[in-house]
Amino acid sequence: MNRYAFFIVVFVSLALVTIVTSQQSSPRHCYRFTWLGPDYNNGSVYLNATCNDVTKLSDKEPCMEPLVVSMDGTWPNVSYIWDNHKEQATCVLGDSEYCAQYTFYFNGTPLNSTYMCTKALTSNNTVVSPGCYTQTIGSFKKRVCLCVPIAGGMPCNRANPTSAATLFTMGLVTTAAILFLNKNL
Ligand SMILES: *[C@@H]1O[C@H](CO)[C@@H](O)[C@H](O)[C@H]1NC(C)=O
Ligand SMILES: *[C@@H]1O[C@H](CO)[C@@H](O)[C@H](O)[C@H]1NC(C)=O
Ligand SMILES: *[C@@H]1O[C@H](CO)[C@@H](O)[C@H](O)[C@H]1NC(C)=O
Ligand SMILES: *[C@@H]1O[C@H](CO)[C@@H](O)[C@H](O)[C@H]1NC(C)=O
Ligand SMILES: *[C@@H]1O[C@H](CO)[C@@H](O)[C@H](O)[C@H]1NC(C)=O
């Protein structure tokens, strides 16, 4: 047996154990806020608006404070929110919860979007799998995306899901490399 290969395997295994352990002890976060949409920008009058104000007391539609508006009405920079407003605009994922993002569209243009931690059950109390689900009513579209965040990392409920997919692929590649090394011992 090749000694050198043995030490590489031991080292990689220890590194993996460290990663897995630190992931279990650090909480998973989701974004939690509502982006009010392109009709609001730095020129809007806010009057300390609450969810009740913007949803006109219809508690059927999701809304989560804080309410977020971007300077120019474009989608807010969620990395900026993570870096600067983690305390106010994220939640810690509970047992059997997902990060969720509800987005309303009109003719394909986003109207508003709500990010939250939530349990996802069907009306029959069965668990919904992660992924995106779309409901279309005329020109309106409501899209819900559910995902599981990586512990200690950035929340996964953001507009661009590629990083999570990349990390998953990296995990698989690492595992494959270890299996390969083991086979050659
Ligand atoms: C709003 O932000 C834009 C830049 O995005 C800036 O040019 C404009 O002066 C700002 N308006 C107000 C009222 O602050
Ligand atoms: C918003 O709330 C703050 C603190 O509660 C208060 O000082 C301020 O006057 C309010 N602004 C408006 C426009 O109601
Ligand atoms: C988002 O837009 C939909 C459709 O216009 C509306 O019913 C809902 O109240 C809005 N939600 C928020 C939080 O603004
Ligand atoms: C978004 O925010 C991050 C972190 O604050 C910053 O590095 C990045 O340049 C911002 N992206 C845009 C498009 O402004
Ligand atoms: C709930 O269960 C009923 C009967 O088993 C089935 O017809 C229905 O499609 C289910 N609904 C959902 C949302 O899964």
Say which range, 22-36, 134-148, 152-166, has the weakest mean pLDDT. 152-166
Task: Decide if 19 is inside a domain.
Answer: no
∠ CA 62-67-72, rounded to 5° = 120
Say which range, 46-50, 63-67, 100-104, has the weakest mean pLDDT. 46-50
Task: Decide if 151 is inside a domain.
Answer: yes
Q: What is the mean pLDDT of residues 18-41?
A: 80
Q: Is the whole model's pTM more than 0.85, yes or no?
A: no
Task: Decide if 81 is inside a domain.
Answer: yes
Per-residue tokens: 43 = 């020129």
| Torsions phi, psi for 116 (to 5 deg) | -165, 165
pLDDT of residue 91: 95
pLDDT of residue 21: 52
Task: Decide if 178 is inside a domain.
Answer: no
Tell which wins on pLDDT, 11 or 171. Answer: 11
Pocket residue to mutate for ligand 4, from 80, 83, 160, most atoms within 8 A of Cβ: 80
pLDDT of residue 101: 94
Task: Decide if 141 is inside a domain.
Answer: yes
Say which range, 18-22, 99-103, 130-134, has the weakest mean pLDDT. 18-22
DSSP one-letter string for 148-175: -PPTTS--S-SS--HHHHHHHHHHHHHH
Task: Decide if 111 is inside a domain.
Answer: yes
pLDDT of residue 160: 45
Task: Decide if 182 is inside a domain.
Answer: no
Give 82 Cα–ligand 3 centroid separation in angstroms. Answer: 24
Per-residue tokens: 58 = 């219809």
Task: Decide if 65 is inside a domain.
Answer: yes
- What is the percentage of the chain residues whose pLDDT exceeds 90? 41
Residue 80 belongs to what domain range? Answer: 28-160
Q: Residue 174 — pLDDT band, cuts 50, 70, 90?
A: very low
**Counted domains in the chain:** 1
111 pLDDT more than 90 = yes
pLDDT of residue 89: 95
Helices (H), the chain: 3-25, 51-54, 78-84, 86-89, 162-183
Q: pLDDT of 112-155, one tens digit each?
A: 999 999 988 777 888 788 999 999 999 999 999 999 998 888 89
Using a 6 Å CB cutoff, which residues line ligand 4? 77, 79-80, 83
Q: Whose CA is nearest to atom 3 of ligand 3?
A: 104
